[in-house]
Amino acid sequence: MTACAAPTLLPDEAGRFLRLYHAETGTPGLNHRLGRAATELAEQGRLTLSTPELTHGAKVAWRNSTRCVGRGYWPALALRDLRHVADPEQVFAELLEHLEYAWNGGRLRPVISVFGPGVRVLNPQIIRYAAYPQAGGKVVGDPQNLELTRQLRALGWPGGPGTPFDVLPVAVQSGGQVELFTLPAAAVREVQITHPTLPSVADLGLKWHALPVVSDMRLEVAGESFPCAPFSGWYLQTEIAARNLADAGRYDVLPRLASAMGLDTRSERTLWRDRALLELNVAVLHSFDAAGVKIDDHHTVTHRFVRFEEREGRAGRTVYGRWSWLVPPLSPALTPLWHRSYTDTEVTPNFFAQLTPWPIAPSTCTPSTGAPLRSAGCPFH
Ligand code: ARG
């Protein structure tokens, strides 16, 4: 097949991405690459992207993520090319490496680890807190993870000590088998929440993990899918303080915080919820700063987003966005994004939600500490 005939035979997605890659990175040899891609697709039915191509694809996937207000840093994304890794133990070892690379002594680095086909991490994030239902409908832990906790227990997790912040094991699926792995405590960096001027906030015993590592989204580049491509950046304080700890359906700490602050909670009109919410945001920023862990605030990040839009405009690209996700849940009208509008269009490369195939029959499981245990030690065998 000749190089000039080939482009017409390429599926749109592949041709479009390769053109974008060569144009944006200034890499020569587009025609040759298009020809080779057409041959690969004709012969193997799939395209094998080079590491630089996949790296650029992942960066553009981040740039195209309509719900992400922090994506101005897309050129800084590092890619760990682990497409040859499919053995569950190796996958887990690489997840630990990901945490270490991303942590970087608190100066968090954005990174994505791309694994081979047939691998899935079933947890929505590498670090998630368990949920334990109590009599009377109360929940100890993060109610968002009730179903995840139930499924992991069905796979053989015996449960943790029962604190509100028990870290769940990681379920790695490969070739249809699922194995559970316990994260060593040292791999899970956490920040205890204290307040600069209200000592009673520390008594609430709140904390959160430093790294958000989203692990259940499918990366799509050039029409190729990567179902296991965990990625992480750093937190924006509102994610933790205005949602995870504050939502009535999550940790619901505002009533307790308000009494710790001595606020009058008898009437909504004292705005005790808003006052507690604000101080919780102050506390999370203060605690991460004091611990030397990178975190953004909603003023800085939204102004930076506007500069990202301007840069993209100069590069001749449209920024799509989902307004309801970009605008922060605290003081939204104080940020420049409140006054702007966005078109919510999904373009590729991008990250997509994918169904997690629960329930999964247990194949192996792990004790509450230490290395994974194969079938022999599992209560289901
Ligand atoms: N909102 C999610 C959480 O609170 C994390 C999503 C990704 N966030 C990020 N800053 N990269 O855990």
Q: What is the pLDDT of residues 288-318, one digit of tens each?
A: 999 999 999 999 999 999 999 999 999 999 9
At 309, list the tokens: 């839009």
In a domain, 70, yes or no: no
- 121 lies in the same domain as 14: no
Task: Specify the DSSP class assigned to residue 202.
Answer: G
Place of tokens 């937190």: 235
Residues 258/265, Cβ–Cβ less than 8 Å = yes
Measured in angstroms, how far is the CA atom of residue 53 from the centroid of ligand 1? 26
pLDDT in the model for residue 378: 28
- 24 lies in the same domain as 118: no
- 35 lies in the same domain as 108: no
- 29 lies in the same domain as 171: no
In a domain, 209, yes or no: yes
- 44 lies in the same domain as 121: no
Is the dihedral angle over the CA atoms 11, 17, 20, 26 positive or is it negative?
negative
pLDDT in the model for residue 10: 75
The number of distinct structural domains making up the chain is 2
Could you give the CA distance from residue 182 to residue 168 in angstroms, rounded to a whole number? Answer: 7
Q: Is 68 a catalytic residue?
A: yes
Nearest CA to ligand 1 atom 10: 235
In a domain, 259, yes or no: yes
CATH number of the domain at 272, please: 3.90.440.10
- 240 lies in the same domain as 296: yes
- 105 lies in the same domain as 22: no
At 81, list the tokens: 């090319």
* Residue 70 Cα: closest atom of ligand 1: 10
Percentages of the chain per state (helix, strand, coil), in multiples of 5: 45, 15, 40
Q: Is the CB of 329 under 6 A from ligand 1?
A: no
- 275 lies in the same domain as 355: yes
* Residue 234 Cα: closest atom of ligand 1: 10
Q: Is 228 a catalytic residue?
A: no
Q: Is the CB of 293 under 6 A from ligand 1?
A: no
In a domain, 193, yes or no: yes
Q: Is 103 a catalytic residue?
A: no
Pairing of strands 111-115, 78-82: parallel
Q: Is the CB of 216 under 6 A from ligand 1?
A: no
Residues 233/107, Cβ–Cβ less than 8 Å = no
Q: Is 234 a catalytic residue?
A: yes
- 115 lies in the same domain as 37: no
Q: Among candidates 286, 272, 350, 376, which has minimal Cα distance to 17?
A: 350
In a domain, 343, yes or no: yes
Could you give the CA distance from residue 207 to residue 63 in angstroms, rounded to a whole number? Answer: 30
In a domain, 64, yes or no: no
- Give residue 110's domain range: 96-375
In a domain, 16, yes or no: yes
At 237, list the tokens: 């304080």
In a domain, 63, yes or no: no
* Residue 233 Cα: closest atom of ligand 1: 11
Could you give the CA distance from residue 367 to residue 10 in angstroms, rounded to a whole number? Answer: 49
- 114 lies in the same domain as 187: yes
**Which residues are CB-neighbours of 300 under 8 A, at least 6 positions away?**
none
**Would the pTM of this model clear 0.95, i.e. be above it?**
no
- 36 lies in the same domain as 101: no
Q: How far is CA 64 from CA 90, 125, 205, 346, 371, in A?
A: 30, 20, 38, 7, 38
Ranges of residues in the chain with a pLDDT under 50 are 1-8, 365-381
- 2 lies in the same domain as 129: no
The region, left, alpha or beta by phi > 0 then psi within -120 to 50, assigned to residue 278 is alpha
Measured in angstroms, how far is the CA atom of residue 38 from the centroid of ligand 1? 38
Maximum distance among all alpha carbons in the chain? 78
